[in-house]
Structure 1
Amino acid sequence: MFGRNQVPVVGASEVPASAYLLDVREDDEWVAGHAPDAHHMPMHTVPARLDEIPADGDVVVVCRAGGRSAQVVAYLQATGRDNVRNLAGGMMAWAQAGRPMVSEDGGAPQVA
């Protein structure tokens, strides 16, 4: 994007199984469907919960389409984290790639 710093990205099919997947979507989006091993932390809570995010190992940040998660990656980089990447295309790309999803409401998982 013109005039913005680029953040590192990873494709949905390239996310390592060992990565800490940080889902920064809102509660209703999380309930509708998310990756089975993801950690939910709505975007607005990240600054207060920074210590919960691993400083080592791969951290992949995800939202619905990649915009909010890119902002979180940029924020984390500004705090000195160099182990964070944005999930390109967000949960929409995750679902399109056929990656596993679960829901919290008992329904079929979907990207909301």
Structure 2
Amino acid sequence: MYGFKEVTAEQLKEMQEKAQAFTLIDVRSPAEVARGMISGAKHIPLHLLPMSMAEIDKEKPLVFYCLSGGRSSQACAFAAAQGFSEVYNLRGGISGWANRSFPIV
């Protein structure tokens, strides 16, 4: 076990619709983010995550995503190692989200 779970695009959409309290972080590059991101997400490129962990609320569930799920799984493992207890990786990343025609801003 890596200390984190996966969440599907449908589950994330449901969390948003229920106005559930959670932190959504996009770990893609600035160039990728310029093409759009999931509403409510905070952009922290993966390589800057270690310097940004102090800004993230440990009390809320934490959801990471990237393009397809690889970089965000690294972010999840890192966050779990830093003592975050509720950490989720968006399965399929923003690609999986977009494939379901969910909104990108």
Q: Per the shorter chain, which TM-score range? A: 0.7 to 0.9
Matched, 1:29 2:32: yes
Unaligned residue ranges in structure 2 (runs of 5+): none
2:89 alignment partner, SS class: strand
Trace 1:50-65 onto structure 2 (pairs within 5 A): 50-65=53-68
Counterparts of 1:74 and 1:100, CA distance in 2: 27
* Structure 1 vs Structure 2 CA RMSD: 1.5
Aligned to 2:70: 67
Counterparts of 1:73 and 1:99, CA distance in 2: 23
Aligned length: 99
Quick one: percent identity of the two aligned structures? 34
Counterparts of 1:7 and 1:59, CA distance in 2: 10
Query: Which residue identity lines up with residue 50 of structure 2 in the other structure?
Result: P
2:34 alignment partner, SS class: helix
Decide which structure has greater helix share: 2
Query: Which residue identity lines up with residue 12 of structure 1 in the other structure?
Result: A
Aligned to 2:5: 8
TM-score, length-normalised on structure 2? 0.87
2:24 alignment partner, SS class: strand
Unaligned residue ranges in structure 1 (runs of 5+): 103-112
Counterparts of 1:97 and 1:54, CA distance in 2: 29
TM-score, length-normalised on structure 1? 0.82
Contact in 1 for aligned 2:46/2:75 (Cα 8 Å) = yes
What is the CA distance between 1:6 and its match in structure 2? 7.1
Counterparts of 1:48 and 1:5, CA distance in 2: 21
What is the CA distance between 1:14 and its match in structure 2? 0.2
Mark the structure with the bigger radius of gyration: 1
Counterparts of 2:87 and 2:56, CA distance in 1: 10
Contact in 1 for aligned 2:3/2:80 (Cα 8 Å) = no
Matched, 1:77 2:74: no
